[in-house]
Structure 1
């Protein structure tokens, strides 16, 4: 039986297992959204804008550098699902520790708490980066390209329904508890969800790869290879430029909830509305963009999403400056557009999978993740700018950068065109 036949035979089961794993992960993820919950927790222990500005850079560095360093090692592992399981377990324990600490502490504004939180935050996203690399590699191995959009859609719809149900049933009352006591239950819940997600991945049916030989580890070698990939592969380079411009949208993530709270006078109850709006948006947009990607290619899905994302900072500004015909109570629409960000990132990574053969998937995925990280070097400066300048300046600049990224999608290649041409050539021969 050929490798393609093996993939086809078990694809339905593996697609279902990966979808369930993605759904459970999404349910846990809503309890730690970077746009609402994490900045709110940072404000509870500190409140400094420049510390909020560190959250995006730590999250993106964690999701970019470790995957790059370990991509060659992951390539040589015979079973990728084992890595998916272990990294999910590593995602769980930082939040379980935070839950225990928050439950024990009476005075939560300890001088060491922001430092510890930032360290755990970086560790969590380092494990998340490796988990995403393992998921992408396993998906590339077990799911055909024209079925990956379906996986994205299923995870988006069912994951959003589960996440919203959990948020309304548990997150809302927990965040309304006095003295921010609810963070104990919030962190316990999402830590538990990540544990379960790791166990679900064990049910994938995966054939063992031949044991590869990892090259001797050199700290600088992965970065040299990433630069070589960027420099020599024109199709990848064009996609990476779009990705870097688009990902600047993340630089404003911690500040949207600050904007609503400080400029519009919203309350803790609004946090739940924003979280729910963002997750429902992901659930609706995932199958739509997934269908576009399966039918017309990821390039068109990326183009649509990037142009739409450019409007997000402008929508937030319109509410604060009174330019919107809607009342501030409709500020949640901002978070509807923020739902485009995680969906677009997955579409970009799926696009990357189509540029190369399966053995090169870890290297290309980790290199794209590193490209995602580069704009985050400016995240603390965005936080300082919002503290010291009119907030409209960084918001307009980010919107403009995303718009340029949308324009550059017209120079991206479509891998499906090359695949279809190759298939036609083979049929003629």
Structure 2
């Protein structure tokens, strides 16, 4: 037997392949060694984000604030388009820099601090609500809102990329479950003790306190990231030309069939967000809901986020994320119909039951997170930023219609709610065309 043969007589792999295999094994062992600590730190970071988020819930608090300073349906309709487009464009521009950064946690930390700063500015501006005319505030708010969600998009891209680097695939659902449930409990406690009283303050003055707490929680969440143990990678050459980055997005969608299919599902599903600012409007205008009702809606929505995160995280780890996305989209297709039905059959003194709408709406952020986890399994770690930002771009497409939908809501909200329900239902049907990366992973393991 020669030096270049194994005991079975088969030739040995080339030295470069052996070195690469050893590096992969070492990286896997390093990830497993620090995984529990990193999982707990990332979960705690997410808990503080959730506490911040409950004080700026997109379905309740932000639309209510905009109604306080403006009021028109088309202005409310600007929220989803600014939200999603800002979240989608910024991650594409940041994806190359993040991919080539030796430490992904640094960008996550910096964006968390910037989110804190933007809401700190908004809280400062709200100190004068009701004390002097502020006709310019709606425009300033929308600008800050767009900047905030551009930062949020990069923040979420950084979090998902860091998760892909530090947490193994079959444990990412555990992170989603732990962070979702703990975050919901903490956020609900914060809303229960403070939110109703602050919302009841005259002339909207409580929004200064609400947004101030939001800023503080974002700041604390950034400090926690100092405890993440992240191996330093090699610094690459960032491909930062915007035109080339967006052409890469288009090329990926054109050439990668598996990405095409999840992108279509995501685009259709995200039409559900066109109605986000209008659920609270429906409850307030038809059922005369007040500050206490808004607090209950926020709490129940966050409770459902925690429960659904726990359930979907467990199922996703065990059976893969395709089946989870399918169930989530079919369930979300019912939400507009439930909201319409409840607004028609309930009397104002029975409006407590309208909270069922917000209990179901908690599934929306969980579904988005599930789609990101699904994409993480489609490609290798070095491609995660690009594929995640590509999915973000696709999610933004339907939101261009948000101001039009807001205008049509004032015309006939029944028709719009039913149409959106049908579009989301179609996204559920199309999940049957999606690939299951977990099956390919299991097959490769069995062949090995």
Q: TM-score, normalised by structure 1?
A: 0.97
Which of these residues, 92, 109, 121, is aligned with residue 68 of structure 1? Answer: 92
CA contact (8 A) 2:128 2:205 kept: no
Equivalent runs, 1:107-186 vs 2, <5 Å: 107=131, 110-186=134-210
- CA apart distance, 1:107: 4.1
Q: CA offsets, 1:25-75, max 9 Å, x none?
A: 000100001100000000010001111000011010111000001101110
Equivalent runs, 1:20-419 vs 2, <5 Å: 20-107=44-131, 110-215=134-239, 217-322=240-345, 327-388=350-411, 390-419=412-441
Structure 1: runs of 5+ lacking an equivalent: none
- The 3-state SS of whatever aligns with 2:77 is helix
- CA apart distance, 1:219: 2.1
- CA apart distance, 1:328: 2.9
- The 3-state SS of whatever aligns with 1:32 is coil
Larger radius of gyration: 2
CA contact (8 A) 1:85 1:199 kept: yes
- Seen in structure 2, the aligned counterparts of structure 1 residues 362 and 344 have a Cα distance that, compared at 3 Å, is same
Equivalents in 2 of 1:187, 1:323: separation in Å? Answer: 33
Q: CA offsets, 1:232-279, max 9 Å, x none?
A: 111111011111111111100000000000011111211001001100
- The 3-state SS of whatever aligns with 2:37 is helix
- Seen in structure 2, the aligned counterparts of structure 1 residues 105 and 179 have a Cα distance that, compared at 3 Å, is closer
Q: TM-score, normalised by structure 2?
A: 0.93
CA contact (8 A) 1:45 1:109 kept: no
Q: CA offsets, 1:345-382, max 9 Å, x none?
A: 00000000000000000000000001110010010110
CA contact (8 A) 1:21 1:197 kept: yes
Q: CA offsets, 1:258-316, max 9 Å, x none?
A: 00000111112110010011000111110001111011100011111110000000000
Structure 2: runs of 5+ lacking an equivalent: 1-24
CA contact (8 A) 2:130 2:205 kept: no
Aligned CA RMSD, in angstroms, stands at 1.3
- Seen in structure 2, the aligned counterparts of structure 1 residues 327 and 172 have a Cα distance that, compared at 3 Å, is closer
- Seen in structure 2, the aligned counterparts of structure 1 residues 252 and 105 have a Cα distance that, compared at 3 Å, is closer
CA contact (8 A) 1:53 1:379 kept: yes
